[in-house]
Amino acid sequence: MGRKKKVIDVEEYKRDLRKGNVESSPTNYYVPNAILLEEWKVAKAQDAVTEDLALMFLRIASKFSNKFKYKYPQDKEDCIEFALLDCLKYWRSFNPEKSANPNPFAYFTELCKNGLAKGWNELGYVDCPIGMRMSISDNLYSI
């Protein structure tokens, strides 16, 4: 027995998206693939990112960033901003004709993942076990 697919009310989804509640909405959807594809087509025709498409990017980046742990909340916000920047920079590169079943959600999630990684690398944290660090002086450490 398969799961029953919910019918998505596009207007209700967009209304919830515009309310600004990124974490959860009454529609209980992340970002539906069909709606994302239609909004991408509208943006491509206008040659500019629409407000709804930008909000969808924000929802994808915010929810995907919850998979990681951050020491400070500002670090999480910075990484989300890097992810949004990548989405806004490369949104035109998505090509729905590349596959029989276009999946913009996977493409933009991958962009967000790479943007989050860029943001984390930009913050400059070093992954080094404490046991491998050796103090040379008060402010210098060596491996």
Q: Kindly write down the DSSP assignment for every residue of 5-35, as one continuous string.
A: PPPP-HHHHHHHHHTT--S--TT--S--HHH
| Residue 26, pLDDT score | 45
Q: Kindly state whether residue 93 falls inside one of the protein's structural domains.
A: yes
Q: Kindly state whether residue 129 falls inside one of the protein's structural domains.
A: no
At 73, list the tokens: 């909340």
Identify the sign of the CA torsion 52, 53, 57, 59: positive
Instruction: Give the domain extent around 104.
Output: 10-124
Q: Kindly state whether residue 81 falls inside one of the protein's structural domains.
A: yes
Q: Kindly state whether residue 69 falls inside one of the protein's structural domains.
A: yes
The residues of the chain scoring below 70 in pLDDT are: 1-29, 125-143
| Residue 27, pLDDT score | 47
Q: How far apart are CA 34 and CA 102, in angstroms?
A: 9
| Residue 98, pLDDT score | 86
Question: Which phi-psi region, left, alpha or beta, contains residue 47 (left: φ > 0; alpha: ψ -120 to 50)?
Answer: left
3-state secondary structure of 113: helix
The total of structural domains in the chain comes to 1
Q: Kindly state whether residue 141 falls inside one of the protein's structural domains.
A: no
Q: How far apart are CA 82 and CA 16, in angstroms?
A: 24
Q: Kindly state whether residue 142 falls inside one of the protein's structural domains.
A: no
Q: Kindly state whether residue 132 falls inside one of the protein's structural domains.
A: no
Asked whether the whole model's pTM tops 0.85, one would answer no
Widest pairwise Cα distance in the chain: 65
Q: Kindly state whether residue 137 falls inside one of the protein's structural domains.
A: no
Residues with Cβ within 8 Å of residue 115, at least 6 apart in sequence: 61, 79, 82, 83, 84, 85, 86, 87
Distance of alpha carbon 31 from the chain centroid: 11
| Residue 29, pLDDT score | 58
